[in-house]
Chains A and B, each alone.
Chain A
C-alpha cells in the first residue's frame, strides 16, 4: 500500500473511530444504535461499491445477499430450546447445530458468497440495461424464496430469538476491514482489469480481458460483504422478517453509494456518513415538527423523499457522486504538493 492509499485508509478509519467513541461515551443508547447501524450499512455500501463501482453495473440484488447472510447465520445461533417454537418446520439436520455468533456470521457471509458464485456466472455476460434488469429479477426471486421457504425463514412472519452479539466495536471493526478489502480489491489485478472493462468493454476485450470472469469475481466478493453485513445486522436487530431485505433497504444503500460516488471507496464511505446523518437529522426534525404541531397534519416520509431528491440532485449536478474518480488520498497529496 503506497502513501496515497494509506492516507485514504486513515481518512476512512478516523471518522469511524470518532463516531464509535462519541456514540459509545456520550451516554445516549440511541447514538450507539445509530452508529452501529451506520457501520453495518457502510459494509453493505462498500460491498456494492466493490462490484458496482469497479464494474459500472448497477446491481439491485445486493440486499438479497444480505438476507442470505442474516438468515443463514441466525439458523445456527437461535438457542436450541427456542428453535421448535421459532422454526417449527426446521429440517432435523439443522436442529441440533449451534454455533457461536461469530462463527455463524462467518458461515452466513460464505453462504451468501456461494449463492452468488452459483447464480451469477451466466448473468455476467450481460451489460447495461439487461444486466440491471436481471439483477432486479434476481432480487425478486430471492425475496420470494425468503418469503416462502418457511422451514428456514419462518416465511413472511418475523424470525425472532436471534441472540444479540453485534457490538458497536464489532461493527466498527467490520466496517474498517471492509474498507481495507474494498481499497485493496480496487487496486488489485482483478480490480484494475474490471475498471478497464467498465470504461470500455471492447478495448478491454481487445487486450485480452475476460469480462464475464472479472465481473463474476467482483460480484462474488460483493456478496461476501453483503452476507457479512447481514449476519452482523441479524445479531444486532435480533428479530426481523424478509421485507427487511427488499426495496426500501436497496434504495437506502444505493442512495448512499450514488450520492457518495460509486467509483471510489472514499465516496462510498462519505455517502454512508452523509446519508446517515441527514436521515437522523430529518427524522428528528420530522418528530419535532409533528410533536409541536406546526402543521395541521402529520409529516410522514420526509426522509425517503429527501433521499430521493438528493439522489436526483447528485445525478443531475455531479453524476459521479461527491467523490467521483479520485480517492481522497490522491487528492490530498496533490493538494499538499501545490499548497
Chain B
C-alpha cells in the first residue's frame, strides 16, 4: 500500500508581495486528527486553501496518497476525497438542510437512493433530524456549522479539513461536536485537520499539532511536546497556555 496521506511539500504562497506561507510542509495521515494552530493571519487557512486547490502556491506541491495533485482544480480534488468546511460558513442557503447534505453525496456520484441513506445517517449522527426540511438560511450559527461538517462527510472524504468548526458554538454544542469528530477517523478511515482557537478543545481532540506563525512552521509533533515549545508559547499560546496548564 502506498503512503496514505495528504501532503503539502515546501509550499510557498504570495499575495501581491506578501509572503503568506514560506516553505511550509504538512503531512496528514489517515486515521489521525491534526491540529493546526497559530495566531490570526499566520497562514492556517491559506494552507488549507492550498491543500484543497483554492489557492495556487508559487512553489511547492501537494500530494494525495503519493500522487501529485498540484495541478487539479478544487472540484477534482474533492472527487479524490479532499473535503473541507469554511471559516465563514458557506451553506446553500436556499436549499433545505437535507438537500445541503444530499448535494454533497450526489456530487461525489452516489445514486439518489444511496444519497438518501447517507443523509439519514448523518442527520442522526449530528442530531439535525428536526431541521431536515428547514431552509439552511433559517438555522442558527452552531447548527449551520454542524450541517457544513455533515455535508462534507456526505461526500465520503478521505481527508477532511475543518476551518474553525466550533466557532460560534456554545460549550455544550462544541463538546458534543468534539465527541462526534473524535470518533470519525477510526470509523471512516479518515484524516482530519482542525483549525481552532479553543486550545483546551484542540488539546483534547488532536493526536498531533502543527504550529504556524507568520507563514512558517514553528513547531510540530505530539500535543504536549508542541505546546511546551518556547516559540509556540511566545507566538501564540502566551498567558492562556500557562493558565490552562495550571488547571490541568
Contact = CB atoms under 8 A, between A and B. Distances in A.
A211 B91 CA distance: 16
Given A195-B92, A325-B135, A203 B78 contact: no
B79 A208 contact: yes
Interface residues of B, number: 31
Contacts of B54: 202, 206
B73 A205 contact: yes
A209 B102 CA distance: 12
B86 interface: yes
Given A192-B99, A192-B102, A208-B155, A203 B107 contact: no
A132 interface: no
B92 A210 contact: no
B90 A196 contact: no
A193 B107 contact: yes
B91 A207 contact: no
Given A189-B112, A192-B103, A192-B106, A210 B94 contact: no
Interface residues of A, number: 22
B152 interface: yes
Interface in A184-204: 189, 192-193, 195-196, 198-200, 202-204
* Smallest CB-CB A-B distances: 4 pairs: A208-B78, A199-B92, A203-B90, A208-B107
Interface of B: 52, 54, 73-76, 78-79, 83-84, 86, 90-95, 99-100, 102-104, 106-108, 112, 133, 135, 151-152, 155
Given A192-B99, A205-B78, A206-B52, 19 more contacts: A192-B106, A193-B107, A196-B100, A199-B91, A199-B95, A200-B92, A203-B90, A204-B92, A205-B75, A206-B74, A206-B75, A207-B107, A207-B151, A208-B75, A209-B75, A209-B103, A211-B75, A263-B94, A325-B135
8 contacts: A192-B106, A200-B91, A203-B91, A203-B92, A205-B73, A205-B78, A207-B107, A209-B103
Interface of A: 189, 192-193, 195-196, 198-200, 202-211, 263, 325-326, 330
